[in-house]
Chains A and B, each alone.
Chain A
């Protein structure tokens, strides 16, 4: 009986801890959404960049429907990758302005909650861009999926999370460097190569219907689990660095 009570107490304590942790995550997320709503720094920059890439590639290649299906996956993810750099750099610049980051470093709230809140905010920003970009992409590239189109609803969030999770982490890592805008792509692109491969291949497989995207989706899931865990575990060290 005593063991049961103890286990219940421990479970209660843990759920209390988890509740508090997610309340901190939510607090950071709400703050980032509020800041973006008021400044619109990240979303507007990302949107214009992504639109330009999509339009320029469309004009440059003038692809047929069949060719479009082959190259659309690559163009889409490259456009999103480069556009997301804007948001990723911007999200930490805000914390550096007025030395707010020091206030976070002195806060008793867990550092990983700050990371998770910011990564989720960046995810929402990039997803918003994807929602705006999708119809334009279909029009410019004359696209319709020959495979199971609904699977894009799985691939897109998985791929986006892979970009923003690592991106948020490495943007924080390069925060104190002089050329952080340059450093971020130099670190992030090689690290994200397996995920990029997975996103592009899965998207192309769905659009062309020529192969099974399952293996690429599994790769993305494994990549996300591994890198999210590592980022959450190491973020305290990154934040506390002198």
Chain B
């Protein structure tokens, strides 16, 4: 493990995959984020570490456009996060799938919401196979094991072919083998060609931001490691 050291705030390049400038998020008098300034370059892979309540999930949800900052600005691919919804995918530690439907039914539903199925980079079947789930499985998601739910959830986000993938505690409730399999898949995902991308984007690849408090599991993805504490970024270490 590399030594953690405090780094000064850097100027923000709004053309990065995501950038936050002096961002604070207050819930009443509680500050979930305090003047966070950080940039995630296109094609980078970042692991955000921190204890519970450090502000990791708030950071991710803000980049995803699910919450707005109380102060400061957030840019994703140079624009408002909500305007870039087609290019972002967010996976929570909860499945974000309907318990009463099978993984395949869930994925077909979300694929239809995504728009033109013919132009989609991959089909629900391909997404499920990529995460090692059988597309023919008819059992509802509510009856899946935690590992299967996480994989189905990952298949949902891969289906949308995101350029920026935000993963909030993806290894929670997973055994070490399943977590390692997920990391392998994410490493592979970074190399998948971006649909309709420029040659510059193709060279950079896809961006991953992942939060966890199990640093050892995410080690292969930790090109950059951010450590957060009480809503602030304590350190940024590049490999």
Interface residues of chain A, those whose CB is within 8 Å of chain B, are 20, 23-24, 27, 31, 34-35, 38-39, 94, 97-100, 102-109, 240, 242
Contacts and interface: CB of A to CB of B under 8 A. Distances in A.
A98 B96 contact: yes
A104 B110 CA distance: 9
A104 B86 CA distance: 12
Interface in B107-163: 109-110, 112-115, 140, 156
A20 B90 contact: no
A31 B109 contact: yes
Interface of B: 64-68, 82, 85-86, 88-90, 92, 94-101, 105, 109-110, 112-115, 140, 156
10 contacts: A34-B105, A97-B99, A98-B99, A99-B92, A100-B97, A106-B64, A106-B65, A107-B113, A108-B113, A242-B68
B115 A35 contact: no
Given A20-B115, A103-B110, A240-B82, A34 B94 contact: no
A22 to B, nearest CB: 12
Given A35-B100, A242-B67, A242-B68, A102 B113 contact: no
A228 B65 CA distance: 27
Given A24-B113, A98-B98, A109-B115, 12 more contacts: A20-B115, A31-B98, A98-B94, A98-B97, A98-B99, A99-B96, A106-B85, A106-B89, A109-B113, A109-B114, A240-B82, A242-B68
A36 to B, nearest CB: 9
Chain A interface secondary structure, helix, strand, loop or mixed?
helix
Contacts of B113: 24, 27, 104, 107-109
Nearest to A20: B115
A97 B94 CA distance: 9
A107 B85 contact: yes
B101 A34 contact: yes
Contacts, number: 70
B112 A102 contact: no
Nearest to B162: A106
Nearest to B65: A106
B66 A106 contact: yes
Contact of A106 (B90, B98, B140): B90
A27 B112 contact: yes
A97 B142 CA distance: 11
B114 A27 contact: no
A35 B105 CA distance: 11
Nearest to B69: A242
B98 A108 contact: no
Contacts of B100: 34-35, 38-39
Contact of B114 (A97, A108, A242): A108
Contacts of A20: 115
B92 A108 contact: no
A29 to B, nearest CB: 11
A100 B96 contact: yes
A98 B89 contact: no
Nearest to B62: A242
A188 to B, nearest CB: 26
A31 B109 CA distance: 7
Nearest to A110: B113
Contacts of A31: 98, 101, 109
B89 A27 contact: no
Contacts of B85: 106-108
A27 B117 CA distance: 13
A222 B94 CA distance: 42
B88 A102 contact: no
A197 B225 CA distance: 62
B99 to A, nearest CB: 7
Contacts of B90: 102, 106
